[in-house]
Chains A and B, each alone.
Chain A
Amino acid sequence: KAGVTQTPRYLIKTRGQQVTLSCSPISGHRSVSWYQQTPGQGLQFLFEYFSETQRNKGNFPGRFSGRQFSNSRSEMNVSTLELGDSALYLCASTSGPEYNEQFFGPGTRLTVL
């Protein structure tokens, strides 16, 4: 089984721009979660999508948004980028409610200049 894939792997943007990140979960996984990881804050939960619906949301401003498509692929968007948005953005897909193992993609390293 292929793992979680994320594109692009690296991005450099400037303040005020917007960015879209993409994630394809493991085949058969319907839940996709997004996290932001920075050295100072650790892993912070952004949101989770299941069957094209946002089910859970973390404590991030509205500049952070996402969506999920019918094939379970997900995108997240960050508008009006700030320097503090520089981070590793991780996507994870979850195996299901019984064992709920979460598997991470390689991440997208976003640098905001």
Chain B
Amino acid sequence: QKEVEQNSGPLSVPEGAIASLNCTYSDRVSQSFFWYRQYSGKSPELIMSIYSNGDKEDGRFTAQLNKASQYVSLLIRDSQPSDSATYLCAVNRGGSYIPTFGRGTSLIVHP
């Protein structure tokens, strides 16, 4: 059974702080890793994709992948109240079109 685990939260951080969201997965042959942001009542929005070990930065977001330890994380620097949302981790095998999603972590950024 392929699983993707996330802490449901909520993770509460003050404005301007770094928010760290973590995700572990069980399928060792996973090759594609994604982070989605979902605001309440809205659909998931893809914010980061990462395919190789290490860090990938995009603006205030950094995705970190460690395949040996089977975890992927998302760092949000200078967190803003507008970052308050649920963050979904998704993991996919190479060549597959169907990712496995975690249940999501609720992030609250308070002023």
Contact = CB atoms under 8 A, between A and B. Distances in A.
Contacts of B101: 42-43
A52 B92 CA distance: 22
A101 B34 contact: yes
Contacts of B36: 104
In this complex, the interface size class of chain A, counting residues with CB under 8 Å from chain B, is: 20 to 34
Contacts, number: 53
28 contacts: A33-B97, A33-B98, A42-B103, A42-B104, A43-B44, A43-B88, A43-B101, A45-B98, A48-B97, A55-B97, A56-B97, A56-B98, A90-B44, A97-B94, A97-B95, A99-B49, A100-B95, A100-B96, A100-B97, A101-B46, A101-B49, A102-B34, A102-B46, A102-B97, A102-B99, A106-B42, A106-B43, A107-B43
